[in-house]
Amino acid sequence: MGSRGSQRSVPGHSIVLTRPRPPPGRAAGAPYAARVATPWWQSAVIYQVYPRSFADANGDGIGDLEGLRRHLEHLVWLGVDAVWLSPIYRSPMADFGYDVSDHCDVDPVFGTLDDADRLVAEAHAAGLKVLLDWVPNHTSDQHPWFVDARRSRDSARRSWYVWRDGRDGGPPNNWRAAFTGELRWELDPATGERRPRAVEGGTGVDPSAWTLDPATGQWYLHLFLPSQPDLDWEEPAVVEAQLDVLRFWLDRGVDGFRADVIHAIGKDPALPDDPPELALVPKSGTNDQPRTHELLRQIRALLDGYPGERMIVGEVYLLDTARVATYYGDGDELHLAFNFPPLMARWRARTWRRQVTEVAEQVDPVGGWPTWVLSNHDNPRHRTRYGTEPRARAAAVLLLGMRGTPFLYAGEELGLEDADVPADRRVDPGGRDGCRAPLPWTRADGHGWGAEPWLPFPPEAGARSVEAQREDPGSVLHLYRRLLAARRASPALAVGDLELVSAADDQAVLAWTRTAGEDRRAVAVNFTAEEQAASLDAAWVVEVASDGAGEGQPFTGRLGPDQAVVLRPA
Ligand code: GLC
């Protein structure tokens, strides 16, 4: 590792992130004019759909595949390149689809396999790639595999899950499950250190990652809910069965997968106790085993065996960029790995400088192509975290100005805040309902949903609806559209090198340039509510401004309060 990518530190305060490694078979240093020469998932912007909350065609208050199909036009108009769907498979919905009971069928609440085929075909016809969520670490306890496994110690599929005898009348070790309602593994926004943090919500269930199965007298492992037993990837039949799931969907034409908690699949076979300082932290945030890398190489080989640049982006929930970087392997594991420290970072210039620098120092040297995420279905939306719309707008400029593949979470293009979900409507065992509120499509009450949706709408749903914002050129929605158009039109923004230009001690502004051959852009973000100087000279024209101010005009060298800009050479 480390031989193919390179990172240069230049004197002074700049950091240079170098261009992506050329795809196999292409000469190093190929000109960026050949943007098409980079794999699609490097220049793409990927849009996450949480199917329950996106659009409801059959009027039952829960989003479905037909609802998404009818709104593909929104994604094309917006200008994203690919859509990732959170799980659509058959599921008892204890974790809203992340508890799969049949990997090769669509849950009736979302539609049918025919609906999925039609969606993929129409998305492709519209120029959009389609990624599905793949949940390799665990299944539902209702999955026929687990139903068989728990029937007896002699069941054919007993070895597909992790069974152990108890220890002194209790669970086999001290591992902790997620969603147990007390602690979560997070980054301290002030120091960047990992630490356990108390969370709201939760199930109030036993915090152990083990549940006793009384009928067979053994305990089974579950890093998440007791109804989500972990598969045992040491069992070759499990590997084959899960690779078959990938084949099933690849054969149907999907372009790749987002792999759920992929870092969790390989376990230490000795299942040792966690040290005391980790004993209160869910194991799903710390499990990091060499075995997973062997498995990923198999998974990657399968994808690479298909034509058409199929890809896999993995959720590596380790909150440590250096660890995340190892999941790219030597170009033979994940194509992309989610790196969540930026998702947890505070809205501060120096904090964000550290995020960019960390990626430069950790991901670039292994030849990995970075990812950037501000919002998803597991965390409060960034509009909610940062507190104001002007900041959320500036964050959109920051995200779409980064080097790496950005992921948008449906509704962030509307500037949605999390819904305030009253106690009697809370449904998620992980306390994540707020960010899963339904998308408002129309201004009028009902907002395009036939029935009362499964969760309440977010605040200001009418004014923030797609309908209202499409009519308003000054809206957040139009800002995202302009940013996506600018990114698509500029190789520098899409795949170019990144060089920080603001001073390391600048607490107000972060500015950088992007370069691909002759093509150049600059991005500057004011993290404060006061006007600031931008660390860039005036040889630029404002291409996109977070508040729309001055677009098409020469850049003055100053940024308004909470303003962020994309600049092109004058
Ligand atoms: C991932 C998903 C989350 C889910 C969990 C268990 O973290 O993003 O929504 O609850 O895995 O599958």
- What is the DSSP track for 66-93? HHHHHTHHHHHHHT-SEEEEPP-EE---
| Ligand 1 atom at minimal distance to the Cα of residue 99 | 12
> What's the CA gap between 293 and 284, in Å, rounded?
16
What pLDDT tens digit does each residue of the chain (570 aa) get? Answer: 333 333 333 334 456 765 554 444 334 444 343 434 799 999 999 999 999 999 999 999 999 999 999 999 999 999 999 999 999 999 999 999 999 999 999 999 999 999 999 999 999 999 999 999 999 999 999 999 999 999 999 999 999 999 999 999 899 999 999 987 655 666 776 777 766 666 555 445 578 999 999 999 999 999 999 999 999 999 999 999 999 999 999 999 999 999 999 999 999 999 999 998 888 889 999 999 999 999 999 999 999 999 999 999 999 999 999 999 999 999 999 999 999 999 999 999 999 999 999 999 999 999 999 999 999 999 999 999 999 999 999 999 999 999 999 999 999 999 999 999 999 999 998 889 999 999 999 999 999 998 999 999 999 999 999 999 999 999 999 999 999 999 999 999 999 999 999 888 899 999 999 999 999 999 999 999 999 999 887 799 999 999 999 999 999 999 999 999 999 999
| Alpha carbon separation from 122 to 70, 126, 132, 176 (Å, rounded) | 10, 6, 15, 43
Going across the sheet that includes 256-259, the strands are: 336-337, 311-314, 256-259, 129-134, 82-85, 46-49, 405-409, 371-373
Nearest partner of 40 among 124, 134, 136, judged by Cα: 124
- 294 annotated active-site: no
* Residue in 134, 179, 260 to alter for ligand 1 test, most ligand atoms within 8 A of Cβ: 260
Could you tell me if 80 and 43 are in contact, meaning their C-beta atoms sit under 8 angstroms apart?
no
> What's the CA gap between 196 and 186, in Å, rounded?
6
The answer, yes or no, to whether any atom of ligand 1 lies below 6 A from the CB of 261, is yes
3-class secondary-structure state, position 365: helix
Q: Report how far ligand 1's centroid is from the alpha carbon of 86 (Å).
A: 10
The answer, yes or no, to whether any atom of ligand 1 lies below 6 A from the CB of 224, is yes
- 315 annotated active-site: yes
Could you tell me if 287 and 223 are in contact, meaning their C-beta atoms sit under 8 angstroms apart?
yes
